[in-house]
Amino acid sequence: MASAALRSLEYWAYQYRRTWRGTIASSFLSPVLYMAAMGLGLGSLVDRSGHGASLAGGGYLAFLAPGLLAATAMQTAATEATWPVMGAIKWVRTYHAMLATPLRVVDVLAGHLAWMALRLLLVSAIFLGVMAAFGTTPSPWALAALPAAALTGMAFAAPITAFAATRENDAGFSALFRFGIIPMFLFSGTFFPIGQLPAPLRPVAWVTPLWHGVALCRALDLGTATAGPALGHVAYLGAWAAAGTVLARRAFHHRLAR
């Protein structure tokens, strides 16, 4: 089983050889741009107002950077798990081609999810490199933020893959981004502590996987993580990834093994 999934993974890696230049450029440039504009530029306004000192990390840039790391993992995951999955089912029909070989449905799914995990590790590693260049990785614990960011991404990638596999066209994806991904990006603790949200909205932010991802990455990056909360975040994110995988497996069987 494992080796069959590797062959499916190999397809995605092989295909990536043609497109990696563009994606690497944006994986590198977009964190640089965000860190410069929001961290340095906007950060200077926040820190001048005196509110910056009360934030975790003691300044807006230090507060923002690990939050952006987790949010970027989420956005990468959402992109990788929507159009490419739909394309492999309907447009390019890559999955159908794979299933005409000895590969099984579970191998096809496992290979593609493994590919998404690799992409997330790559994007997060580049982001961490940029963070280091901006001086926002104060402790060696920051290295642990790498798997944490990838796990955050998988908490989105797996359930979104399941969602994409049930769709007939890509119309639902823009709704997913507009009403799911972007609101989470803006309200789940990346740009400001969720304590600032009106009280009734705070529980909503708590249940979003992104808030757990942001909290985990921030605590690890700043070296302030404690075992209890950190394990809680990991378990919560892991549960989303696992449940998503189960749903995706069911959706793939329903869609492809007919």
Partner 1 sequence: MSTAPQVTTRPPRGTLVARVLPPALLGGRRAGRLVERNLLVYRRTWIVIASGFFEPLFYLLSIGVGIGKLVGTVTGPGGQVISYTAFVAPALLASSAMNGAIYDATFNIFHKLKFAKIYDAVLATPVGVTDVALGEISWALIRGTIYSAVFLLVMAVLGLVGSVWALLVLPVAVLIGFAFAAVGMAATSYMRSWQDFDFVQLAVLPLFLFSATFYPLTTYPPALQVIVQLTPLYHGVALVRALDTGAVGPGALVHVLYLAVMGVAGLAVTSRRLGHLLLR
What's the closest the beta carbon of residue 173 comes to partner 1, in angstroms? 11
> Is position 29 an interface residue for partner 1 (rule: CB under 8 A)?
yes
Pick the closer one to partner 1 by CB: 23 or 224.
23
Looking at residue 33, its amino acid is: L
Q: Are 55 and 194 in contact (CB under 8 A)?
A: no
Contact (CB, 8 A) for 114 and 5: yes
The amino acid at residue 182 is I
Per the structure block, which two tokens stand in for 155? 């908490």
DSSP per residue, 34-103: HIIIIIIIIHHHHHHHT-GGGSTTSSHHHHHHHHHHHHHHHHHHHHHTSHHHHIIIIIS-HHHHHHTTT-
The CB-of-35 to partner 1 minimum distance in angstroms stands at 10
- Return the residue of 92, 186, 207, 246 that touches partner 1, per CB under 8 A: 186
Site mask, partner 1, residues 191-220, x = CB under 8 A? xx---xxx----------------------
Candidates 22-30, 104-112, 138-146, 250-258; binding stretch for partner 1 (CB under 8 A)? 22-30
Cα 193 off chain centre by: 19
3-state SS assignment for residue 55: coil
Q: Which backbone phi and psi does 121 adopt, to 5 degrees? A: -60, -45
247 binds partner 1 (CB under 8 A): no
Helix (H) or strand (E) holding 246: helix 227-256
Supply the minimum distance, in Å, between the C-beta of residue 181 and partner 1: 11
Kindly indicate which of the ranges 40-48, 69-77, 139-147, 160-168 contains the residues binding partner 1, using the contact rule CB under 8 A: 40-48
Report the C-alpha gap between 219 and 79 in whole angstroms: 26
Of the two residues 78 and 154, which places its CB atom closer to partner 1 in the complex?
78
Q: Is residue 42 near partner 1 by the rule CB under 8 A?
A: yes
Q: Which is nearer to partner 1, 43 or 159 (CB)?
A: 43
Place of tokens 């975790």: 56
The answer to the question of residue 41 lying near partner 1 (CB under 8 A) is yes
Of 161, 173, 165, nearest to 244 by C-alpha is: 161
Q: Does 25 help bind partner 1 (rule: CB under 8 A)? A: yes
Residue ranges that bind partner 1, judged by CB under 8 A: 19, 22-23, 25-26, 29-30, 33-34, 36-38, 41-42, 44-46, 49, 51-52, 55, 60, 171, 174-175, 178-179, 182-183, 186-187, 191-192, 196-198
